[in-house]
Structure 1
């Protein structure tokens, strides 16, 4: 049984976070105390039933809070609960064995006054009395049979004689989807979760205990071991018989009851309660790891993480099928240098390559965030006091953009960390602008364009870039375009007016136009170009220095192309392309000679960036 998604209600800072995907690799990012560890602990509660307390509950607002009473929703005053729901995928063998469809939802609930409940959403009889017959005592089965006029099919004192016809009746009645208690088989089929906490680098014993407990659960699921455990449970239940008889007699006597039934339910679940880890020094002296220093503890913890894939991947064909496992890392990069972070990245790749494994990593490390596909990143952000999850989905509009998002983002040079954290995205037409604008902007403003919150990117002639810009806008990112004036009607250009309007962009508010009259290169004077060319690209000796009059004569045609041909053909050191041309003049010109039309665009971009995001996707 493989987990595919998780939703959390009423757990710590997670008031209501729904539909978070759990992929082969999932990276959780977000601000400090933004819910990353809470989400991992909620997942641990769902899969392993870890104990919760009232301190883990979310108290919402000052009024009433919903309380689930069976399947009904009733208002109650200040009675919260925690509900963690997972979406799971079952393989063919599990579907047959458990009698469940390919996809199911399972949840675990906690209420202080009632305890913890594991439930599954499935098709059941509309009558609640006939849903969980296995948990009903023999006397209760007889009462149900009498109420529904059902006769036993065998001996009157045999449980199955009453349970079988009641089951057949339940199947004949109307079926509904409802949350019902999950049986022991469903519980045993849940994935194993191996939790590597951030503080585990200081406590390798905790890592070892988590790993060995996972293996212990694997061994317990084997048919032979499961039979031994069942026999032990039956033996212990039988051992309590005399004590039960004494209690029943005492209750019947004191309460004047004709009969009292008391059936013990004994459950044996092997668990590793502790691990003692000792090491030896070079002289052979033995001492606890706790006194060996944090440096050694960190190295041992990292080695244990790396060994977990091999340890949990061991499988004996004679045992039960290998169960699914979820590897969870809470800030594994803490106190690790870059080389060790690379080892963590390699470990994540290795573990996630297993068909029955999922890996979830909560981190602030840009190296880890940028090391996975953007579609694998879940960004948790606190907005108006509530934690929200920003995640790319395949539903809704622009499916094609979402499907190819990571390919387009890679083509455009975006890192995951940029997409998650930048506030203002400015699209230009080519590499000439992306190379020259940062140089000119820094001269004008006195600081880098990135520090102004402006993410500059080249759209070129890539149609996907325009759709990507629309995707960013649809998900709360501010987007603008800086376009040559001659591009507005040029059918060869992607950022022309009709295309921009077709994708929903406002030409007056989201587009800035450059050119005097046509393109960026026009803005610089004849003197600027002649002086730059003579300083950077020494002309052939036979022709002499370039003169402003030569530049002026080129402005009647496609200025940038003719300018490039002039300098490229007139000097062996001339610019090779338009990018070299623009970088040359951007680097050479002093601040006071940057065209006013260009500095006005820069100032407008800074103003837009100051008022932009960050917004929720």
Structure 2
């Protein structure tokens, strides 16, 4: 019979997570979740993004990887996916195992020991024997369908205690409910006919599962079956002749006409009549043709009836060799594709144009840890409200996703004075700028936000962090105490620092502030700054930072902001006048950055 079942909309399944073992640097990779619409894979070269897309092909298409793709030659490559329907009423696990040069796909099912396999995958003789073993009367006749229906009905009435989970061969009916995969790889940019071939193949496969074609294919399959029955009879007879002791031989055949491999030729002709060989065309034209094919993919996904079958589009660095404008157009198409209810899109990319235009929850950051891929998943939050809060927090601080996922170290502070002062102090101490050192300085404008941001950076994104907060942060409402530092794997004096008795500003001596005032904020009313001005500000009930802002603004009769004060302080102070906590925090951030370079993630061969 033909294996061309149509998947009804109610049973259409989407991929929710993927775990992989023994595929290049994807070794014992825990389940990595996929978003319902758009998932972006980021990370350095060699971190496993391409291997992840290869794993999708292995699971959804049964594609065989090369033998060289095994991490360990003595173990199989295994890919396991969790799928669910849109209403989550149906959830299944499907596994693909590569062994001995072939891929076997299985589904985790509840089976009865007397049957051992799903009834639909058993022969009539095996079903008869299973019924006899269970002590149940089997249907008569030579048609398999009544046997399967009776077996399914009997199993459905068994107590759960009698059933057991087992990996069984993936039935065609279940395979038809899985999303159809189309992969676009970076090397496809120069192979437009190949792109068209994949698009045509996917659309042809979809058409052949519809009611307009499936019955006709079944008829053709039946006719072909009649034609090969004599061949099968001959094989069975010869096995009986050459294999003494064999009493019966059963050979079951099936045909899958949905596997389409069309041949495609493309020819372009200019309005002048000039024929164009795409292999000889310039990059500008090939980019435009490629974008047109991506747009055509979107158009076919928006057609009538296509939502019956789920689709997963996987792009492996599609932005390679595209100019800025072409990247933007491509990403607009990708966003539109992901917005369709029956489409999932997975994109492996380095493009900040795409990374910075999606929510943090859409990103999966791949990194190597002891030559094994680990995936940092920002979407692993307790609930959707928490996810939205974190996304708003990060965007409110002006932090781009690309920075969050790629910067070497984050130096987190809680006020505008230190935000302006620290870049200058860092340059004085280390001799280079924060950006050139790969360090991002973040001012959260409050100790409570320090906690929330650091928790995201460390727990969700596995980033390196140095925290420099005011001394009174230990006792503030969003306090930063030893317990919290320990939870964040921060150690006071190593990567967690408190500066000043109360605030950053009071860590500097009155004489330093006196020089700052005389050099940067001279008075024009005939008076002069005195050291007592700053000793008085030091004991102000509102804190020295606010007291200095008020003092300078009042005496100069114009607004003086904390950032202005921070810059003046940093440009005035000498190296030996920089407080120890600040010196250690700056050195800690610099050391982390240097270690990042020294232990740069090494490629484990192809991704």
1:14 matched residue in structure 2: 26
Equivalent residue of 2:308, what SS?
A: coil
The counterpart of 1:311, out of the listed 300, 310, 325, is 300
Structure 1 residues 342-366: Cα deviation after superposition (integer angstroms, max 9, x where no partner): 2233222211111111111111223
CA displacement at 1:456 relative to structure 2? 2.2
Unaligned runs of 5+ residues in structure 2 are 1-12, 602-607
Q: State whether residues 121 and 177 of structure 1, in contact with CA within 8 Å, keep that contact through their aligned partners in structure 2.
A: yes
1:123 matched residue in structure 2: 110
Equivalent residue of 1:240, what SS?
A: helix
1:566 matched residue in structure 2: 551
1:68 matched residue in structure 2: none
CA displacement at 1:370 relative to structure 2? 2.3
1:266 matched residue in structure 2: 255
1:32 matched residue in structure 2: 45
2:567 matched residue in structure 1: 583
Structure 1 residues 472 and 399: CA distance shift in structure 2, 3 A:
farther
Matches within 5 A, 1:314-393: 314-316=303-305, 321-392=307-378
Structure 1 residues 518-539: Cα deviation after superposition (integer angstroms, max 9, x where no partner): 5333455666555655655564
Q: State whether residues 81 and 94 of structure 2, in contact with CA within 8 Å, keep that contact through their aligned partners in structure 1.
A: yes
Q: Does 1:285 align with 2:274?
A: yes
1:422 matched residue in structure 2: 407
CA displacement at 1:383 relative to structure 2? 1.8
1:295 matched residue in structure 2: 284
Structure 1 residues 161 and 576: CA distance shift in structure 2, 3 A:
closer
Bigger mean CA offset, 349-358 vs 589-598: 589-598
CA displacement at 1:494 relative to structure 2? 3.6
Matches within 5 A, 1:164-563: 165-171=150-156, 173=158, 174-252=162-240, 261-316=250-305, 321-392=307-378, 394=380, 404-461=389-446, 463-474=448-459, 476-489=462-475, 491=476, 494-495=478-479, 497=481, 506-515=491-500, 518-523=502-507, 529=513, 532-533=516-517, 536-537=520-521, 539-540=523-524, 543-544=525-526, 546-549=528-531, 551-552=533-534, 554-555=536-537, 557-558=539-540, 559-563=544-548
1:85 matched residue in structure 2: 80
CA displacement at 1:438 relative to structure 2? 0.8
Q: Does 1:41 align with 2:61?
A: no
Q: State whether residues 467 and 585 of structure 2, in contact with CA within 8 Å, keep that contact through their aligned partners in structure 1.
A: no
Q: How far apart, in 2, do the equivalents of 1:420 and 1:487 lie?
A: 27
Structure 1 residues 153 and 271: CA distance shift in structure 2, 3 A:
closer
Equivalent residue of 2:320, what SS?
A: coil
Equivalent residue of 2:294, what SS?
A: helix
Q: How far apart, in 1, do the equivalents of 2:112 and 2:338 lie?
A: 39
Structure 1 residues 128 and 393: CA distance shift in structure 2, 3 A:
farther
Structure 1 residues 69-122: Cα deviation after superposition (integer angstroms, max 9, x where no partner): xxxxxxxxx3x3222111111246xx9xxxxx5211112222116x32221112
CA displacement at 1:479 relative to structure 2? 3.5
Q: How far apart, in 2, do the equivalents of 1:172 and 1:203 lie?
A: 54
Structure 1 residues 162 and 410: CA distance shift in structure 2, 3 A:
closer
CA displacement at 1:5 relative to structure 2? 0.9
Structure 1 residues 145-167: Cα deviation after superposition (integer angstroms, max 9, x where no partner): 44555444445x55456555555
Equivalent residue of 1:46, what SS?
A: helix
Q: State whether residues 205 and 275 of structure 1, in contact with CA within 8 Å, keep that contact through their aligned partners in structure 2.
A: yes
CA displacement at 1:495 relative to structure 2? 4.7
TM-score, normalised via structure 2 length: 0.84
Q: How far apart, in 2, do the equivalents of 1:408 and 1:199 lie?
A: 38
1:98 matched residue in structure 2: none
Q: State whether residues 63 and 103 of structure 2, in contact with CA within 8 Å, keep that contact through their aligned partners in structure 1.
A: no
Structure 1 residues 321-343: Cα deviation after superposition (integer angstroms, max 9, x where no partner): 53211121111221223332222
CA displacement at 1:395 relative to structure 2? 6.7
Structure 1 residues 485 and 297: CA distance shift in structure 2, 3 A:
same
TM-score, normalised via structure 1 length: 0.82
Unaligned runs of 5+ residues in structure 1 are 61-77, 96-100
Aligned length: 577
Q: State whether residues 554 and 563 of structure 1, in contact with CA within 8 Å, keep that contact through their aligned partners in structure 2.
A: no
Q: Does 1:133 align with 2:128?
A: no
Q: How far apart, in 2, do the equivalents of 1:553 and 1:236 lie?
A: 99
Q: State whether residues 53 and 112 of structure 1, in contact with CA within 8 Å, keep that contact through their aligned partners in structure 2.
A: no
Structure 1 residues 481 and 58: CA distance shift in structure 2, 3 A:
closer
Q: How far apart, in 2, do the equivalents of 1:507 and 1:604 lie?
A: 14
Q: How far apart, in 1, do the equivalents of 2:94 and 2:16 lie?
A: 11
CA displacement at 1:277 relative to structure 2? 1.0
CA displacement at 1:202 relative to structure 2? 0.9
Structure 1 residues 545 and 238: CA distance shift in structure 2, 3 A:
farther
1:70 matched residue in structure 2: none
Structure 1 residues 419 and 552: CA distance shift in structure 2, 3 A:
closer
Structure 1 residues 231-258: Cα deviation after superposition (integer angstroms, max 9, x where no partner): 1111111222344444445555566777
Q: Does 1:112 align with 2:96?
A: no
CA displacement at 1:7 relative to structure 2? 1.2
Equivalent residue of 2:39, what SS?
A: strand
Structure 1 residues 110-135: Cα deviation after superposition (integer angstroms, max 9, x where no partner): 2116x322211122213344x33334
